[in-house]
Amino acid sequence: SGSMSKTVNLPTDATVEEIQQTYVESWKLGLKCIAIYRDGCKRSQPLSTSLEKEKKVVAAAPQDVEYRAVRRKLPDERKAVTHKFDIGGHEGYLTVGLYEDGTPGELFVTMAKEGSTISGLMDAFATQTSYALQFGVPLKFMVDKFSHMRFEPSGFTKNGEIPIAKSIVDYIFRWMASHFLPVEEQDEVGIVRREDPKPVEPEFRVIAAPAALPAQGAQESKTINGTATQKIAFVNTDAPACPDCGSITVRSGSCYKCLNCGATTGCS
């Protein structure tokens, strides 16, 4: 026909409606013939309507897993242990709430003098300890952290397992250790374990006649049960407390030795 051919290049995503509209527009423009090529319809083509970039698949970086502690609340009705203590004349009560498995889950500290500064501090400290136990902080960790803290009030106690307390906080956690930690872990914080009393056999002595007594007034005796000598350990009333564990020391030569941890003090 001698007419000029017009080539129309369409993208790959061209639809049937768009191709139809292309023919209609060509007819309106008075074109005699057109050639439509859609990108990618042939194996090889001189032109390309789009530049495809190589897509690199990048693996997503692993995200750090965030662990959050979950509070383990105690049941509304639970067992508890209440203990009365006396530290240098300061009386108070410890109440430990227990889970079903017998582990501690809360702590209450009540001082004899309500409204005092020490009472308010102990109440706040007990609340913090309760939250720590319920959020999974191990009791062993807190015992190691707070045992043997030294501040007033401190002094002698009426508890044979903890004869001397360096502070109320020291007494609280050493007492909890003596009730809720294994025996080998109790030794680490200086708990004096109570031993079962052994039955003592009565000892009879036969006193010789007065005429046979020595001139100086000494008495000779004969041991019936076969024991010739007895070793008796005396504890001086003025013996100092051990600087390491707080137990009462005994005199050993010119020094004072702690029978609990083995430390010595006062050597000249």
CA-based diameter of the chain, in Å? 167
CB-side neighbour CA atoms (13 Å) of 207: 7
| pLDDT tens digits, 150-165 | 988 889 998 888 899 9
Instruction: Please tell me whether residue 117 adopts helix, strand or coil conformation.
Output: helix
pTM to 2 decimals? 0.51
Distance of alpha carbon 52 from alpha carbon 54, whole angstroms: 6
pLDDT at 98: 94
May I ask the CATH class of domain 231-268? mainly beta
Give pLDDT, residue 215. Answer: 47
106's CB contacts (< 8 A; 6+ apart) are 74, 96, 97, 130, 133, 134
Q: Among the residues of the chain, which ranges form H helices?
A: 16-28, 117-134, 139-146, 168-180, 183-188
Interval 17-35 mean pLDDT: 84
* CB distance 243 to 263 below 8 Å: yes
Q: Give CA–CA dist 17/9, Å, rounded.
A: 15
107, 83 contact by CB (below 8 A): no
| Pairing outcome for strands 5-10 and 80-87 | unpaired
The phi, psi pair for 9, rounded to 5°, reads: -100, 125
257, β-bridge pairs: 250, 264
Q: What are the structural domain ranges in the chain?
A: 5-38, 80-188, 231-268
235-257 tens-digit pLDDT: 455 677 777 776 778 877 778 88
Say if residue 234's pLDDT is above 70: no
Three-state SS for 138-194 is CHHHHHHHHCCCCCCCCEEEEECCEEEECCHHHHHHHHHHHHHCCHHHHHHCCCCCC
- Supply the pLDDT for residue 132: 94
Which residue did the predictor score with more confidence, 213 or 135? Answer: 135
pLDDT, averaged across the chain = 76
pLDDT confidence of residue 126:
94
Higher confidence at residue 219 or residue 17?
Answer: 17
On the question of pLDDT at 80 being above 80, the answer is yes
- Region 9-35 average pLDDT: 84
Question: Is 243 or 59 the better-scoring residue by pLDDT?
Answer: 243
Give the pLDDT confidence score for residue 221 in this predicted structure.
41
- pLDDT score, position 84: 94
